[in-house]
Amino acid sequence: MKNSSLWIILQRMRTPFLVIVITYTISILGMAIIPGIDNNGNTYHMSIFDAFYFITYTATTIGFGEIPYTFTYPQRMWVSFSIYFDVLGWFYSIGSLVALLQDKLFIQELAKNRFKRQINNLKEKYILVLGYNLITSEIIKKAIESGIRAVVIEKDQAKVHELMLENFTPQVPVLNADAYNPQALEMAGINSIYCKAVVSLFQDDALNLRIALTAKLLNPKVRLAVKATTQSDVENLQDFGVDIIENPFDIIASQTNKALNSHHLLRLERWIYGSIKLTDPFMKFPVGKYVMCGFGRMGEVIYKVLKENNLEVKCIEKDASKLKYLKEDEKNDVSYVESYDKKSLINVGVQDAKYIVIGTKNDTTNLSVALTAKKLNPNITTIVRENEMEDFSIFQTDKIDHILMPSRILIDKTINAIIRPSADLFVKNLDTLSDKDAQGIIKTLLEIDNEPILFELKVTKNESFELYKRIGKKLNVTLDLLRQSLKDKDHLNNVFIFMIYRKSGEIMLPSWDEKLHKDDVVLIGCDKNALEEIELMANNFNEFEFAFFGKEYSVLKNLFSKTQDNI
């Protein structure tokens, strides 16, 4: 009884069906009762089947003629009557059916059924993305690139069409419904074993909170990536047990802090997120006077970080309502201006400032302030917030030194947390490392390759069959094995191990003689060749044999002296 579109048809077609049956019955009875005359002039009565046959082709306006014999006048009178009677009934029924097919409810019902079928047939890992916009579209693209499918729930019909026009391959099933609706979430397979994560990055914090609550009620085990921009929301989400909480302004604050104090750590963090390449010029904020434009949520967090580092900061803000709740110490540094023009920039001291941070919500304002500031003080370094994500950015000019993009940070963080949960954990633990460690790691990574690959090796039965099996046999498998070249016994591959993650706790930067356990997740940075060889030895008996014992497995030798079981 799940298929409600069929039931809608049946229920709506009740009256049309009844109309057809009744009109047919009356006409058929009439034809059978009214006497006719056969070719020899004898009276005869049409059989019921003949009458049914005649009415069937007459009512549908096919009209084969008068059979079996030419009709008498009383018969013809009855036929004239029944033609109008039946044809009207027939057309009415067809009209109802056509109207039903165009009925919005019915079409929605069909779309829902198609969506359900798609979800049922989806036998791969997927993420459930709530709301379709530029940010989530970017996330979907990256997920598909890494072999993870996506399913979308979107309320706005126009955006649903937009997604369909995007032509994602493989297809992205989309349901047109409210994202906080439990039924919609269930239909989208929140309880499915293939559902890897639910992503909810709406602008509205309250909506995100509501979705997190609903999702956790439906499936307490599901991973949730939820955006929150205030501290209280972050705490609420933590209480629900949400795994990935994303506060873009928090990330910006911590990145600003790192840019001031430990830029190598920042470089490593941004590389793991996939925001930059290791060879890119890096963000390093020197000590000096800072000027800030815009004191919104982002301005506030950056201000706090700068103040904590005992730097001189002056802020200007156009929106008086944002200045109502200033704390005492902030009042000295934050001032109200009518507009971000040349005069107010000079007043706040752009000419002798070393840095200007421009973080309003308006991209055009941000850009024009940056250009003005550069004009007033050519030596100033500009850090500008970019809000809108476009294919072609107007911010790509040499007047702007660093771009802060909350939406980009959100994308990188989400996708990293979903595809490589261990890498996300590593970033979380970065604070335990010193800047010097980070510098060392970057140096090692650059020795491996200009663009090293970051991947996680899961020591599970499905993903590294051979390794899992051998560890079970009490072989002493250490991390050293992972860098063993499969071509030459005495050669080592370019491999760097970031972290081992196991249930009892993670080990940051483990040494080479660290033992591997079952169900470990190893976060590895390496070049392409090493990646291939690690995957080979993790899954192939002979390759493992060579990597571990340094020689090929000999069938003859083991055939006779086999004592241990081979499974």
Backbone φ and ψ of 8, nearest 5°? -65, -45
Q: Which residues is 149 bridged to in the sheet?
A: 126
Closest contact distance (angstroms) between CB of 543 and other proteins is 59
d(CA 120, CA 111): 14
* Identity of the residue, 7 or 553, whose beta carbon is nearer to other proteins in the bound complex: 7
d(CA 360, CA 384): 9
State how beta strands 495-502 and 521-526 pair.
antiparallel
* Identity of the residue, 2 or 327, whose beta carbon is nearer to other proteins in the bound complex: 2
Closest contact distance (angstroms) between CB of 48 and other proteins is 5
> Which residue has tokens 């002039």?
41
Angle formed by the axes of helices 205-218 and 231-240, nearest 10°: 0
Strand, coil or helix: what is 252?
Answer: helix
Spatial contact of 179 and 201, defined as CB atoms under 8 Å apart = no
* Identity of the residue, 32 or 144, whose beta carbon is nearer to other proteins in the bound complex: 32
Closest contact distance (angstroms) between CB of 54 and other proteins is 14
Q: For residue 43, give both structure tokens.
A: 């009276």
* Identity of the residue, 11 or 476, whose beta carbon is nearer to other proteins in the bound complex: 11
* Identity of the residue, 50 or 463, whose beta carbon is nearer to other proteins in the bound complex: 50
d(CA 537, CA 481): 9
Closest contact distance (angstroms) between CB of 1 and other proteins is 6
d(CA 43, CA 170): 72
* Identity of the residue, 18 or 94, whose beta carbon is nearer to other proteins in the bound complex: 18
Closest contact distance (angstroms) between CB of 60 and other proteins is 18
d(CA 152, CA 228): 20
* Identity of the residue, 12 or 141, whose beta carbon is nearer to other proteins in the bound complex: 12
CA dihedral over 365, 366, 369, 371, signed as positive or negative: negative
Closest contact distance (angstroms) between CB of 114 and other proteins is 21
* Identity of the residue, 45 or 491, whose beta carbon is nearer to other proteins in the bound complex: 45
Q: Among the residues of 34-121, which ranges form H helices?
A: 48-59, 73-102, 104-121
Backbone φ and ψ of 316, nearest 5°? -125, 150
Note the residues at the interface with other proteins (CB under 8 A).
1, 4, 7-8, 10-14, 17-18, 21-22, 25, 28-29, 32, 47-49
Closest contact distance (angstroms) between CB of 127 and other proteins is 34
Q: Which residues is 402 bridged to in the sheet?
A: 383
Spatial contact of 252 and 235, defined as CB atoms under 8 Å apart = no
Closest contact distance (angstroms) between CB of 52 and other proteins is 9
Spatial contact of 315 and 292, defined as CB atoms under 8 Å apart = yes
* Identity of the residue, 67 or 446, whose beta carbon is nearer to other proteins in the bound complex: 67
* Identity of the residue, 94 or 346, whose beta carbon is nearer to other proteins in the bound complex: 94
Closest contact distance (angstroms) between CB of 2 and other proteins is 10
* Identity of the residue, 85 or 426, whose beta carbon is nearer to other proteins in the bound complex: 85
DSSP state of 350: G
Closest contact distance (angstroms) between CB of 5 and other proteins is 12
State how beta strands 36-37 and 43-44 pair.
antiparallel
Strand, coil or helix: what is 225?
Answer: strand
Closest contact distance (angstroms) between CB of 565 and other proteins is 55
Closest contact distance (angstroms) between CB of 55 and other proteins is 13
> Which residue has tokens 């899961």?
458
Spatial contact of 446 and 285, defined as CB atoms under 8 Å apart = no
CB-based contacts of 80, cutoff 8 Å, min separation 6:
none
* Identity of the residue, 10 or 453, whose beta carbon is nearer to other proteins in the bound complex: 10
Closest contact distance (angstroms) between CB of 24 and other proteins is 8
Long-range contacts of 338-347 (CB under 8 A, 24+ apart): 340/293, 340/316, 340/365, 340/368, 340/369, 341/372, 342/372, 342/376, 344/316, 345/291, 345/316, 345/369, 345/372, 345/373, 345/376, 346/376
* Identity of the residue, 8 or 276, whose beta carbon is nearer to other proteins in the bound complex: 8
CB-based contacts of 107, cutoff 8 Å, min separation 6:
none
d(CA 377, CA 353): 8
* Identity of the residue, 13 or 111, whose beta carbon is nearer to other proteins in the bound complex: 13
Closest contact distance (angstroms) between CB of 63 and other proteins is 22
